Amino acid sequence: MAGPTLRVLDSLDAVARTAAQWVHDRAWAAANARGRFTLALSGGNTPRALYRRMADGPRLPWDRTVFCFGDERNVPPDSPDSNARMAREALTGQPFVNQSSVYRIKGELPAEEAAADYEKTLRTLFPGTTTFPGFDLVLLGLGPDGHTASLFPHSAALVDRTRWVAANWVEKFRTHRITLTFPVLNAAAEVLFLVVGEDKAWALKEVLKGTAPVAEIPARGIVPTSGKVTFLVDRAAAAGLST
Ligand code: 6PG
């Protein structure tokens, strides 16, 4: 299986513009081929610029797009820390996107309940799946510590090979997160990482050029069974790659 593709762009805006075109092309291809486009949104800050461009850019098949989330904080949807709130504000303000096509993780529930509830939701969205649901596209970010989604270094969910969604205790934040597990992320047809900023340079180098175990650099665990992985990064994040 070919390794990840790396594209180094000049700025966050260039990354967002390129990613929006990427999503657009895959959305129409999936919607035209299979009648729907299943997309797992990433949280954090970087994707905000992408979501805004998706909302304002070339029209997407909004009514045939199923918006899910790769992870969520254990907070209510109106919390400033909520990934669902960030996406709703940046993306789903669109008239075309009725709320029924956006499946948020219910971060307001106790973490284990939220994980079980979301797995139930995914099983209705991917009926008949006997292994793991294959999203058409999974968007991911990269933390300075090498985490992705809410799969943090040395956290329990890293080794979960059975559940689709896990409640994951994150020691550094002394809180739970809810996250898709590696088997689901790796069942995707495509994974697109958006990595911007000099604070990501060390982690990006560790992911693309290092040999550390997944326990230390969880993003190294994103190796789709048959899907493609692409990193869209800015020059600052790529600074460690040329050495
Ligand atoms: C989250 C994300 C997380 C994020 C990275 C990068 O819930 O925060 O899922 O994995 O993608 O922490 O975050 P930034 O894009 O804000 O740097």
What's the whole-number average pLDDT of the chain?
94
User: What pLDDT does 94 receive?
Assistant: 58
| Chain segment 49-79, per-residue pLDDT in tens | 999 999 888 889 988 999 999 999 999 999 9
For 7, the token pair is 């594209």
How do strand 137-140 and strand 37-41 relate by DSSP bridges?
A: parallel
Does the beta carbon of 83 sit less than 6 angstroms from any atom of ligand 1?
A: yes
pTM of the predicted structure, to 2 decimals = 0.96
Contact 239, 179 (CB under 8 A): no
Atom from ligand 1 closest to the CA of residue 45: 16
Region 9-33: mean pLDDT is 97
* Domains of the chain in sequence order: 5-242 (3.40.50.1360)
Residue nearest to atom 12 of ligand 1 (CA): 143
Q: How confident is the model at residue 96 (pLDDT cuts 50, 70, 90)?
A: very low
- State the Cα–Cα distance between residues 108 and 176, nearest whole angstrom: 12
Contact 47, 150 (CB under 8 A): no
CA atoms within 13 A on the CB side of 187: 21
Contact 233, 15 (CB under 8 A): yes
Does the beta carbon of 148 sit less than 6 angstroms from any atom of ligand 1?
A: yes
Tell me, what DSSP letter sits at residue 6? E
**Residue 137: pLDDT over 90:** yes
Tell me the CA–centroid distance for residue 128 and ligand 1, in Å: 31
Region 100-104: mean pLDDT is 86
| Chain segment 173-219, per-residue pLDDT in tens | 999 999 999 999 999 999 999 999 999 999 999 999 999 999 999 99
